[in-house]
Amino acid sequence: MASKPDDMTARLRGRCALLTGATGGLGFAVAERLAAEGCHVIVNGIVPEAGMTEPVARLEAGGAASARYIRADLAEPDRIGDMMAEAAHARGGVDILVNNAVVRHFAPVEDFPVARWNEALAVNLSAPFHAIRLALPGMRARGFGRIVNMASPYGFFAAPNRIEYVTTKTGLLGLTRAVALETAGTDITCNAICPATLPTPAIEARIADMAAERGIPVAEATRLYLAERQPGGRFVSMEAVAALVVFLCGPAGRDITGAALPVDAGWTAS
């Protein structure tokens, strides 16, 4: 018998979801949505533990079966191993893995700091690899797993002064496809979501700087910033991206794997 509409995400209740780079912005928005579905939610970041007391409480109040914070610098593979072991010890294993952590630096190739390049490779690309390789044995043993990698439209095309971001997001799409093929035929999926410009604190700060430099209102700077990217002329909604994650993690997403799904208001179509 077909599942009822309200059953489609009910099976997420009690699943353990680990989200990297999720102390704010898109990562935390996804964490809130998974909490609302009744998951055990583990958020990762590098902010001090004291700064996450209130956000973790908010996740619990929002419906999470439980919520906790694991501080780990994902540029260090040993800390990734510690994080995955701690998550497995707490909840028996990670059922849903959302690789969201990212670093960015803007500079031409010839001026790009080597340390920044190495950091980007470690956090943006190697960290998802390590988290996936450590999560997969448990997923296979339990017969269920959902891996969502947060990529970008810049995984499909390039732009100046973003060498590390373009390179790592393109690589993340390849990682997604390879893992999807290795888990094909199971109830483990691996997909990439490619959101366009979101109203994150980092983007809003960049727009504020642009407004100050040009002596124009923030609203006008926002319009100009988005006009260069998204034909829709508006920010992509973090709630829409979070809803897509939930859909992919539910039973209806079982046969969607290896996909790179743009949420970009038509950017990649232009």
Catalytic residues, which ones?
Answer: 165
Are 75 and 119 in contact by the 8 Å Cβ rule? The answer is yes
Instruction: Please give the structure tokens belonging to residue 111.
Output: 């001026």
Q: Which residue has the tokens 């390179």?
A: 167
Task: Kindly report the backbone phi and psi dihedral angles of residue 232, in degrees, each rounded to the nearest multiple of 5, phi listed first.
Answer: -70, -20
d(CA 127, CA 114): 18
Rounded to the nearest 5 degrees, what angle is found at the Cα of 182, between the Cα atoms of 179 and 186? Answer: 105
Q: How far apart are the first and last CA of the chain?
A: 42
| DSSP line for 79-129 | HHHHHHHHHHHHHSS-SEEEE-------B-GGG--HHHHHHHIIIIIIHHH
**119 vs 104: CA distance, rounded Å:** 9
